[in-house]
Structure 1
Amino acid sequence: MDFSQKLAETIALLERIAAEYSPATFANSFGAEDMVITHLLAKQQIAVSIFSLDTGRLPSETYTLMQKVAEQYPSHPITVYFPQTAAVEQYVNSNGINAFYNSVELRKSCCHIRKIEPLQRALQGKKAWITGLRREQSPTRTDLAQQEFDAGNGLEKFNPLLEWTEKEVWAFIRDNQIPYNALHDQHVPSIGCAPCTRPIAMGEDVRAGRWWWENPENKECGLHVKDNAVSLLK
């Protein structure tokens, strides 16, 4: 499939989501893929809301981009969700500010507080949510479908860029002058919380800089683990 056909199918899918699954929402974490979807929603005037999760530990470059996106795409304002203050306080006071380095369990507990619980609030009342996941990003994402029912959150989940390549993502960003996170220019292809993100070396997997102290099969925060409402810390 050539890229023009792939792009047309992506736009058609986004339009179908808006028509058949309203209210639908898009989870924007300000990575390269998410900027592509944000641009398409705004340019095509597709009626899908956008939200983002501010964990309280994001890099400054992400906040800079967040402001830039608000200015460039005023038709699609981004609603920001924060973690519950009491839960963060209890975690930090009981375990330490950077306890997530100590075990997979503590890292996933931190992700649950800062990401999963806010996500559940963001998805309340929605019929579908959209992500920027791509199949080639990670070993944990090779079996994803473009559309699947998210049983944990009780709604449809769509991955419109699932078959896009990294090269296609960046060509589209450059051709359309789409703003992107400055960390990408510092060899950081996958961006999350600041203490859990680092640059990668030439030839490393694109997700190698996320939770680099863990094994590849553990490198998900829980947002995209199936049935996460049943097993939040899976």
Structure 2
Amino acid sequence: MSATTTDRAQASLNVAHRAPAASRSRGAGSAPLRSTEELRALAEAGARELGDDAPALDVAQWAAQNFPDTLAVACSMADAVLPHVVSRVLPGVDVLFLDTGYHFTETVGTRDAVAATMDVTVVDVTPELSLAEQDERYGPDLWSRDPAACCRLRKVEPLARALSGYEAWATGVRREDAPTRTHTPLIGWDATHEIVKINPLAAWSMEELTGYANQHGVLINPLLYDGYPSIGCAPCTARVKPGDDPRSGRWAGFTKTECGIHL
């Protein structure tokens, strides 16, 4: 299975680029972003209203009603189920893709196909340092020596900058993904970014996810069918044996189990 760093010219093909909300000027007459207290209260109200097991489309509808212009969807491009669900109720929604420069070519291809075929706006979120600049500053292959630092530079910090212009973000985190995600709520408060965090698929199993994809013809990263139930950057992702923890192929040889964006 091929794994390359992202070629910028190829990566831009077919992608509906737009700057993250943090760098866009809000239109004249736009309502100001709500306060932290207002957003936290809204998250608590949403959690009470939807409970623990509301249908994903109901969760997406709640998000669309409360954040019609200030919602971002984060997508790793392991599949396009979450963008599909949200775009049914909020066409044109921003879909943030963390373009680390280390993705599998299949992941980049899935991103390009999502941008070309779905009613969403794919937003490439890039690190401040190119791969060459990172290698020069920290030494080659930082991921092999300090994966936490590499994730911070190429995922965590870029996402934080991108989310600063939104009031809420939706993720595809599911409770069965890993033991650390067992108690993932449908609606919660993201204390790190001080915005609402929405997890419409939290209660879904992998069978429900693939069933939805098959029913609606939603794109699936081909790596999912090639022994990669959890897909991250190519250097830090390995195939998983049947029956093993789906995330056991991530950061093999390290105690690290999360990239940091959901902590």
**TM (normalized to structure 2)?**
0.75
**Pairs within 5 Å for 1:1-234:** 9-22=55-68, 23-32=70-79, 35-46=80-91, 48-73=93-118, 75-85=119-129, 88-89=131-132, 91-102=134-145, 106-215=146-255, 218-225=256-263
Quote the Cα distance in structure 2 between the aligned partners of 1:65 and 1:91. Answer: 26
- Give SS of 1:153's match: coil
Tell me by how many angstroms 1:148 deviates.
1.4
Question: Which letter maps to 1:93?
Answer: E
TM-superposition CA deviations, 1:164-193 (whole Å, max 9, x none):
001111111112111111111211011110
**TM (normalized to structure 1)?**
0.83
Tell me by how many angstroms 1:39 deviates.
1.3
Tell me by how many angstroms 1:152 deviates.
1.0
Quote the Cα distance in structure 2 between the aligned partners of 1:110 and 1:152. Answer: 19
Say if 2:186 and 2:200, in contact at 8 Å, map to a contact too: yes
Quote the Cα distance in structure 1 between the aligned partners of 2:53 and 2:220. Answer: 19
Say if 2:74 and 2:96, in contact at 8 Å, map to a contact too: yes
Quote the Cα distance in structure 2 between the aligned partners of 1:155 and 1:141. Answer: 19
Tell me by how many angstroms 1:85 deviates.
2.0
Tell me by how many angstroms 1:46 deviates.
4.6
Say if 1:18 and 1:46, in contact at 8 Å, map to a contact too: no
Say if 2:92 and 2:121, in contact at 8 Å, map to a contact too: no
Quote the Cα distance in structure 1 between the aligned partners of 2:113 and 2:147. Answer: 30
Say if 2:87 and 2:93, in contact at 8 Å, map to a contact too: no
Quote the Cα distance in structure 2 between the aligned partners of 1:48 and 1:156. Answer: 16
- Corresponding residue number in structure 2 for 1:231: none
Quote the Cα distance in structure 2 between the aligned partners of 1:8 and 1:18. Answer: 15
Give ranges in structure 1 of 5+ residues lacking alignment.
Answer: 1-5, 226-234
- Give SS of 2:251's match: coil
TM-superposition CA deviations, 1:82-111 (whole Å, max 9, x none):
10126x555422443223223xxx211110
- Give SS of 1:77's match: strand
- Corresponding residue number in structure 1 for 2:3: none
Structure 2 CA distance for partners of 1:79 and 1:94, relative to 1, 3 Å: closer
Say if 1:26 and 1:130, in contact at 8 Å, map to a contact too: yes
Give runs of ≥4 in structure 1 deviating > 3 Å: 43-48, 88-91
- Give SS of 1:30's match: coil
- Corresponding residue number in structure 2 for 1:3: none
Percentage of identical aligned residues: 32
Question: Which letter maps to 2:128?
Answer: Q
Give ranges in structure 2 of 5+ residues lacking alignment.
Answer: 1-51
Structure 2 CA distance for partners of 1:43 and 1:101, relative to 1, 3 Å: same
Q: How large is the Cα RMSD of the aligned pairs?
A: 2.0
Question: Which letter maps to 2:124?
Answer: V
- Corresponding residue number in structure 1 for 2:35: none
- Corresponding residue number in structure 2 for 1:230: none
- Give SS of 1:85's match: coil
Question: Which letter maps to 1:224?
Answer: H
Quote the Cα distance in structure 1 between the aligned partners of 2:228 and 2:102. Answer: 16
